[in-house]
Amino acid sequence: MNNIMIGRFVPGESLIHRLDPRTKMIGTFIYIFVMLWANNWQTYLWSAVFVVGLIKFTGQPFKLYWDGLKPIFWLILFTVILQLLFTPGSPVLWHLGPLSVTVPGVVNAIYVMVRFVLIILMSTILTLTTPPTSIANAIESLLGPLKKIKVPVAELALMLSIALRFVPLLMDETQKIMNAQKSRGMSFSTGGPIKRAKAIIPLLIPLFVGALQRALDLANAMEVRGFKDAVQRTRYRILHYDRNDYIAFFTIVFFVIIFFGIKIVTGF
């Protein structure tokens, strides 16, 4: 339960930690969008170098990012194998019925893997250095213009931050209930598939009951303190860009320019 690194925030004092969350989100989106245009080893290399540089700047050990990749290892492997087996072209290295491994297939498989890893690493930089509530604030701020067309942006952001707040609580709760039921002899590792699926009921029911109870408690607590939706609210933490954010934007623009520069030089 404690090995899940995706979406985990690790507090720190690095330059990247201190950036405005909106800067980080926009930067991440621009990076991913641009990186998807990479189509040769030069552009992939530049994208990789850029991410590695950023990781250095977060002041967190590489191992943390590596832990973040592990859970999706199988997904990456699966996609790579698909690419490997189903890309047509020549020369053919090996084939069996409809399956064939071709040189373009191998190259494609490597590119897809690199692309996957880079996207995950870049998103991990965002989530590792930004508390979930800041991400929710940033989303609210970035979606601000949609208020004009009557999208309840503030309410959506509130729902998002409450949901994010509940994730670690539910994970703790799951662990506790698992321990309790294991002590009463629950076992996931014996019996056929139906028996195993059934074994999950004693886990899910208390989890739902607990989550509903918590949600009700929270709703009551908000209501007795006079919470109303659809009112103009001020904030405790006000987002504002400062010098570092301008530097960050400049860095991303630098990445984009070099990227397309390489593309032009290597002839698209």
Note the residues at the interface with another protein (CB under 8 A): 2-3, 61, 63-64, 67, 173, 176-177, 179-187, 189-190, 201-202, 205-206, 209-210
Identity of the residue, 67 or 164, whose beta carbon is nearer to another protein in the bound complex: 67
- Tell me how far apart the alpha carbons of residues 10 and 186 are, in angstroms, rounded to a whole number: 34
| CB 63 to another protein: min, Å | 5
Q: Which is nearer to another protein, 155 or 172 (CB)?
A: 172
Q: Which is nearer to another protein, 59 or 210 (CB)?
A: 210
* Side chain identity at residue 257, one-letter code: I
Q: How far is the CB of 21 from another protein (least distance, A)?
A: 23
- What is the Cα–Cα distance from 84 to 71, expressed in whole angstroms? 22
Three-state SS at 268? coil
Residue 38 DSSP label: -
Q: CA-to-CA distance for 56 and 259, rounded, in angstroms? A: 20
- Phi, psi (rounded to 5 degrees) for 191: 85, 170
Residues 6+ apart with CB under 8 A from 158: 136
Q: How far is the CB of 185 from another protein (least distance, A)?
A: 3
Catalogue the E-assigned strands of 7-144.
Answer: 92-96, 99-102
Nearer to another protein by Cβ, of 56 and 147: the residue is: 56
Give least dist CB 228 to another protein, A.
32
Report, in Å, the least distance between residue 62 CB and another protein: 10
Measured between alpha carbons, how far is residue 56 from residues 10, 52, 121, 130, 173 in Å? 15, 6, 12, 16, 35
Q: Which is nearer to another protein, 3 or 234 (CB)?
A: 3
